Amino acid sequence: MSEEVAEKNWKRTFSLDLLRSVPMGISETVASTFAMFVAVGLLDVGTLSKSIIIAGPALGMILSMFSVAMVRRVGLSANVAAALGWVVSAISYGVVAMHAQNQVLFVVCMVVSSLSHTLALPLQAQIYRQHYPSRVRGRLFSTVGMIRAAVAASFGYFAGLWLLDQGVDYAPLFWVFSVANLGKAGCTLAMNRVYLRKSQKLSLLDAFGHLRDDLVFRKLIVSWMILGFGNLLCMALFVEYITNPSYGFGYGAEKVSLITTTVPMSIFIVSIFAWGAIYDKMEFYRLRVLTNVFFFLGLLVYFLVPSFWGLVIGISLHGIGKAGGNVLWSLWTTKFAPAEKVGEYMSVHTFFTGVRGVISAFLAFAIAKTLGPQVVAYIGASCILIASLMLLPELKANWKK
């Protein structure tokens, strides 16, 4: 029945998703570049504040576990609940724009905006599960991702140039982010409503039961936890590493946005559609390990080849991995979870993503400050290697089929 519903709804959802990809791409540059650039390059906030900003999305992922349970109890559609999160994010960006140069307010609003934004992730997975047919889900998702990345790449580059001319006046940029989030909310509300499995009582921790009952899910979560910790540990330093003069670069807005947004997003554009097509056809474990190879190489080159081209090549390799990882991260529960429980499986997945994100955000700056960013790169690459080796039994078993 669910596939019949998906066949009926996918064209409308896909059209709105394509439209939504424009504001999604614009707002994506906040996390990838501009939040940290403003914090480090313009406001000169302390180490604790930088860690808190990086940890904001991760905290939202942790709380998304409980937001799904609350949405199930209240009976809101996934569309309305996701849109509410994006409206809160839009308001937060507006407050930043109205009170530019206020360090405390900037940090608080960045955390609130990123937190509320990420609450929508497991809800969005349920929409994709019910509206996109399994035969083309990867390709539809990756097509939208390709446009989103193209917008992010171009916006990141030109916004970086604009910010270079503006000096310390970043307020107009955050008005743009505010409007973009309202656009995302509007497109989501225009999609056909998707409702989660209704619950008669508020059980915040019920979804954890899937870890106990589903061995495959449990092993994948553990592997993803190790992989994600290493990856996020290094990603937390992408902007800091090339903005802070202490590490040898001290780049301004133009080069920072070029390296951390335009280059990886351009690579993302080129590769994500291929990843989407591969996702629909390739065995999952093989695809997971393949993306890990690009993450592994990208992190080592970015942090261990101290030159402009080393940064570009490293971030490009990581961008290829990120394109594949984006498809896998967003859709893998639609392969492994029962149709009506995708949102619950995804909420567990986002919860643990948030846990590792919070831990890595605070550890990354502390380790880099005391031991150097290269040590962070070695730790991150080791985690990715361990996570890949964990999946070798499944990889071998499925390779023989």
HEC string of 166-217 equals HCCCCHHHHHHHHHHHHHHHHHHHHCCCCECCCCCCCCCCHHHHHHHHCHHH
162 vs 382, higher pLDDT: 382
Q: Are 377 and 233 in contact (CB under 8 A)?
A: no
Calpha distance 139→277 (Å, rounded) = 5
Does domain 2-195+209-399 fall under CATH 3.40.50.300? My reply is no
Q: Which two tokens stand for residue 84?
A: 């509410």
Q: Within 13 Å and on the Cβ side, how many CA atoms surround 151?
A: 20
Give the chain's length.
Answer: 401
Nearest to 68 by CA among 55, 82, 56: 82
What confidence category does residue 204 fall into, taking pLDDT thresholds of 50, 70 and 90?
Answer: low
Torsion-angle region of residue 250: left (phi > 0), alpha (psi -120 to 50) or beta? left
Q: What is the CA radius of gyration of the chain?
A: 20
How confident is residue 208, by pLDDT bands cut at 50, 70 and 90? confident
Mean pLDDT score across all residues of the chain: 84
Higher pLDDT, 345 or 320: 320
Confidence of residue 1 (pLDDT cuts 50, 70, 90): very low
pLDDT tens for residues 162-171? 887 777 788 8
Label residue 1 exposed, middle or buried (CB < 10 Å: 0-12, 13-18, 19+): exposed
Return the pLDDT at 5: 58
Q: Which amino acid is at 375?
A: V
Closest C-alpha to 238, from 288, 289, 291, 295: 295
| Contact in structure between 280 and 135 (CB atoms under 8 Å) | yes
70: β partners: none
Residue 105 is classified by DSSP as: H
- Tokens read off for 15: 């059209």
CB burial of 319-356 (b: ≥16 within 10 Å; e: otherwise) equals: bbbbbbbbbbbbbbbbeebeeebbbbbbbbbbbbbbbb
Provide the CB-side half-sphere exposure for 345 (13 A, CA). Answer: 25
CA 336, chain centre distance (Å): 20
Which pLDDT tens digit goes with each residue over 11-35? 888 899 999 999 999 998 887 778 8
Reading the block at residue 53, the tokens are 């900003």
- Whole-number Å distance between alpha carbons of 70 and 72: 5
| 48 HSE (CA, 13 A, CB side) | 3
Q: What is the mean pLDDT of residues 82-103?
A: 91
User: Tens digits of per-residue pLDDT, 220-255?
Assistant: 889 999 999 999 999 989 988 998 888 888 888 778
**Contact assessment for residue 231 and residue 321, using Cβ atoms and an 8 Å cutoff:** no
Question: Which of residues 44 and 18 earns the better pLDDT score?
Answer: 18
pLDDT single digits (tens) 52-79:
888 888 887 787 777 777 777 777 888 8
Over 70: is that where the pLDDT of 360 sits? Answer: yes
Among 64-68, 81-85, 287-291, 307-311, where is mean pLDDT lowest?
64-68
Burial class (CB in 10 A: 0-12, 13-18, 19+), 44: exposed
